[in-house]
Amino acid sequence: MKKLYQFKIQLDGISPAIWRRLLIPSDLLLSDLHKVIQTTMGWENAHLHQFEKHDRFYLPRMQDDWTWNEMDNVDYAGMKVSDLLKEEQDSVNYEYDFGDSWNHSILLEKITDNPMGRKNPICLAGARNCPPEDCGGTWGYEHFLQVIGNPKHKEHDEILEWMGEDFDPEYFSVDEVNNLLKRKDFGCNVFW
Protein backbone atom coordinates (compact mmCIF):
# COMPACT_ATOMS: atom_id res chain seq x y z
CA MET A 1 0.00 0.00 0.00
CA LYS A 2 1.23 3.46 -0.82
CA LYS A 3 2.14 5.60 2.16
CA LEU A 4 2.02 9.26 3.08
CA TYR A 5 5.26 10.94 4.12
CA GLN A 6 5.38 13.89 6.47
CA PHE A 7 8.49 15.97 5.79
CA LYS A 8 10.13 18.95 7.35
CA ILE A 9 12.16 21.00 4.90
CA GLN A 10 14.46 23.62 6.39
CA LEU A 11 16.72 26.09 4.65
CA ASP A 12 20.19 25.65 6.14
CA GLY A 13 22.28 28.48 7.57
CA ILE A 14 19.44 30.93 8.26
CA SER A 15 18.30 31.97 11.73
CA PRO A 16 15.52 32.20 12.71
CA ALA A 17 14.69 29.16 10.60
CA ILE A 18 12.83 29.17 7.30
CA TRP A 19 10.97 25.86 7.11
CA ARG A 20 7.93 24.01 5.75
CA ARG A 21 6.14 20.86 6.93
CA LEU A 22 4.60 18.86 4.08
CA LEU A 23 2.51 15.78 3.51
CA ILE A 24 3.25 13.98 0.23
CA PRO A 25 2.58 10.55 -1.26
CA SER A 26 5.57 8.23 -0.92
CA ASP A 27 5.49 7.46 -4.64
CA LEU A 28 5.91 11.10 -5.67
CA LEU A 29 8.66 11.41 -8.28
CA LEU A 30 11.83 13.25 -7.27
CA SER A 31 11.21 15.60 -10.20
CA ASP A 32 7.85 16.45 -8.62
CA LEU A 33 9.39 16.79 -5.15
CA HIS A 34 11.64 19.42 -6.73
CA LYS A 35 8.50 21.27 -7.92
CA VAL A 36 6.95 20.95 -4.44
CA ILE A 37 10.06 22.41 -2.78
CA GLN A 38 10.19 25.26 -5.28
CA THR A 39 6.51 26.06 -4.68
CA THR A 40 6.40 25.71 -0.91
CA MET A 41 9.68 27.48 -0.20
CA GLY A 42 8.92 30.30 -2.64
CA TRP A 43 11.70 29.79 -5.18
CA GLU A 44 11.23 30.62 -8.87
CA ASN A 45 12.82 27.50 -10.43
CA ALA A 46 15.37 29.68 -12.22
CA HIS A 47 18.49 27.66 -11.35
CA LEU A 48 19.87 24.12 -11.28
CA HIS A 49 19.21 21.77 -8.38
CA GLN A 50 20.22 18.40 -6.99
CA PHE A 51 19.38 15.99 -4.19
CA GLU A 52 22.24 14.48 -2.19
CA LYS A 53 22.36 11.46 0.08
CA HIS A 54 25.49 9.70 1.33
CA ASP A 55 27.74 11.66 -1.08
CA ARG A 56 25.66 10.59 -4.07
CA PHE A 57 24.02 13.27 -6.21
CA TYR A 58 20.60 12.86 -7.81
CA LEU A 59 19.74 15.36 -10.52
CA PRO A 60 18.12 15.63 -13.91
CA ARG A 61 20.44 14.50 -16.69
CA MET A 62 21.85 17.34 -18.75
CA GLN A 63 23.56 16.68 -22.07
CA ASP A 64 27.29 17.36 -22.19
CA ASP A 65 27.34 18.41 -18.55
CA TRP A 66 30.87 18.09 -17.14
CA THR A 67 29.54 17.07 -13.71
CA TRP A 68 28.39 13.70 -15.01
CA ASN A 69 31.99 12.61 -15.49
CA GLU A 70 33.45 14.21 -12.37
CA MET A 71 31.11 13.10 -9.59
CA ASP A 72 28.97 10.17 -8.48
CA ASN A 73 25.77 11.38 -10.13
CA VAL A 74 22.50 9.57 -10.67
CA ASP A 75 19.89 10.60 -13.23
CA TYR A 76 16.75 10.78 -11.09
CA ALA A 77 14.29 10.35 -13.98
CA GLY A 78 11.60 7.96 -12.81
CA MET A 79 12.90 7.80 -9.24
CA LYS A 80 10.39 8.12 -6.41
CA VAL A 81 10.85 9.76 -3.03
CA SER A 82 10.52 6.30 -1.46
CA ASP A 83 13.60 5.18 -3.43
CA LEU A 84 15.71 7.52 -1.26
CA LEU A 85 13.77 7.72 1.99
CA LYS A 86 12.47 4.50 3.45
CA GLU A 87 11.95 5.00 7.18
CA GLU A 88 11.19 7.71 9.69
CA GLN A 89 14.13 10.01 10.47
CA ASP A 90 15.75 9.34 7.07
CA SER A 91 17.02 12.53 5.48
CA VAL A 92 18.23 13.90 2.19
CA ASN A 93 19.71 17.24 1.19
CA TYR A 94 18.42 19.44 -1.61
CA GLU A 95 20.59 22.16 -3.14
CA TYR A 96 19.10 24.88 -5.29
CA ASP A 97 21.14 27.42 -7.28
CA PHE A 98 24.72 26.18 -7.38
CA GLY A 99 25.98 29.79 -7.27
CA ASP A 100 24.08 30.93 -4.18
CA SER A 101 24.03 27.34 -2.88
CA TRP A 102 20.72 27.27 -1.05
CA ASN A 103 20.93 24.02 0.92
CA HIS A 104 17.77 22.47 2.34
CA SER A 105 17.61 19.66 4.89
CA ILE A 106 14.70 17.31 4.27
CA LEU A 107 13.73 15.10 7.20
CA LEU A 108 11.17 12.31 6.92
CA GLU A 109 9.35 12.83 10.22
CA LYS A 110 6.48 10.40 9.91
CA ILE A 111 5.12 7.64 7.65
CA THR A 112 1.40 6.87 7.68
CA ASP A 113 -1.00 4.77 5.65
CA ASN A 114 -2.82 6.38 2.75
CA PRO A 115 -6.21 4.64 2.78
CA MET A 116 -7.92 7.43 0.83
CA GLY A 117 -5.29 7.34 -1.92
CA ARG A 118 -4.34 10.99 -1.53
CA LYS A 119 -2.01 12.03 -4.34
CA ASN A 120 -1.19 15.71 -4.18
CA PRO A 121 1.10 17.38 -1.66
CA ILE A 122 -0.18 19.65 1.05
CA CYS A 123 1.65 22.12 3.26
CA LEU A 124 0.78 21.65 6.93
CA ALA A 125 2.83 24.48 8.44
CA GLY A 126 5.85 26.68 7.94
CA ALA A 127 7.66 29.80 9.01
CA ARG A 128 9.17 32.84 7.35
CA ASN A 129 9.48 34.07 3.80
CA CYS A 130 11.91 32.64 1.27
CA PRO A 131 14.96 34.79 0.48
CA PRO A 132 14.89 36.61 -2.85
CA GLU A 133 16.47 34.84 -5.81
CA ASP A 134 20.05 35.84 -6.62
CA CYS A 135 20.68 37.69 -3.35
CA GLY A 136 24.00 35.93 -2.74
CA GLY A 137 23.20 32.89 -0.59
CA THR A 138 23.01 32.96 3.19
CA TRP A 139 25.67 35.70 3.56
CA GLY A 140 24.03 37.84 0.89
CA TYR A 141 20.63 37.35 2.51
CA GLU A 142 21.96 38.49 5.90
CA HIS A 143 23.32 41.62 4.22
CA PHE A 144 20.04 42.11 2.38
CA LEU A 145 18.10 41.98 5.68
CA GLN A 146 20.46 44.48 7.31
CA VAL A 147 20.05 46.89 4.38
CA ILE A 148 16.25 46.75 4.16
CA GLY A 149 16.02 47.07 7.95
CA ASN A 150 18.03 50.30 7.98
CA PRO A 151 16.53 53.17 5.92
CA LYS A 152 19.77 55.14 6.42
CA HIS A 153 21.97 52.42 4.86
CA LYS A 154 23.66 53.65 1.67
CA GLU A 155 22.28 50.67 -0.32
CA HIS A 156 18.74 50.87 1.07
CA ASP A 157 17.09 52.65 -1.87
CA GLU A 158 18.92 50.51 -4.44
CA ILE A 159 17.87 47.25 -2.74
CA LEU A 160 14.25 48.39 -2.42
CA GLU A 161 14.21 49.33 -6.09
CA TRP A 162 15.47 45.84 -6.96
CA MET A 163 13.25 43.92 -4.53
CA GLY A 164 10.28 46.18 -4.02
CA GLU A 165 9.06 47.66 -0.80
CA ASP A 166 6.71 44.88 0.22
CA PHE A 167 9.21 42.14 1.13
CA ASP A 168 8.51 40.92 4.66
CA PRO A 169 11.01 38.29 5.87
CA GLU A 170 8.57 37.10 8.53
CA TYR A 171 5.64 36.53 6.18
CA PHE A 172 4.34 33.03 5.46
CA SER A 173 0.84 31.82 4.57
CA VAL A 174 0.06 28.11 4.52
CA ASP A 175 -3.20 28.89 2.65
CA GLU A 176 -1.35 30.72 -0.13
CA VAL A 177 1.15 27.87 -0.48
CA ASN A 178 -1.64 25.26 -0.67
CA ASN A 179 -3.46 27.31 -3.31
CA LEU A 180 -0.25 27.35 -5.36
CA LEU A 181 0.20 23.59 -4.88
CA LYS A 182 -3.33 22.96 -6.17
CA ARG A 183 -2.43 24.70 -9.43
CA LYS A 184 0.73 22.64 -10.07
CA ASP A 185 0.91 19.47 -12.13
CA PHE A 186 2.45 16.65 -10.11
CA GLY A 187 1.65 13.90 -12.56
CA CYS A 188 -1.84 13.38 -11.18
CA ASN A 189 -5.19 15.10 -11.18
CA VAL A 190 -6.45 14.34 -7.70
CA PHE A 191 -6.20 17.23 -5.26
CA TRP A 192 -6.65 17.51 -1.52
- What are the tens digits of pLDDT across the range 160-180? 887 776 789 999 999 999 999
* Mean pLDDT across 3-18: 96
Residues above pLDDT 70, as percent of the chain: 89
- What are the tens digits of pLDDT across the range 113-137? 987 877 889 999 999 999 999 999 9
DSSP string, the chain: --EEEEEEEEETT-SS--EEEEEEETT-BHHHHHHHHHHHHT--S-S-EEEEETTEEEE---TT-THHHHS-EEE-TT-BHHHH--STT-EEEEEE-TTT-EEEEEEEEEEEE-TT---S-EEEEEESPPPPTTS-HHHHHHHHHHHHT-TTSTTHHHHHHHH-TT--TT---HHHHHHHHHTS--S-----
- The CATH number assigned to the domain with range 3-128+172-182 reads 3.10.290.30
The domain limits of the chain are 3-128+172-182, 132-169
- What are the tens digits of pLDDT across the range 139-150? 999 999 999 889
Give the predicted TM-score (pTM) of the model: 0.89
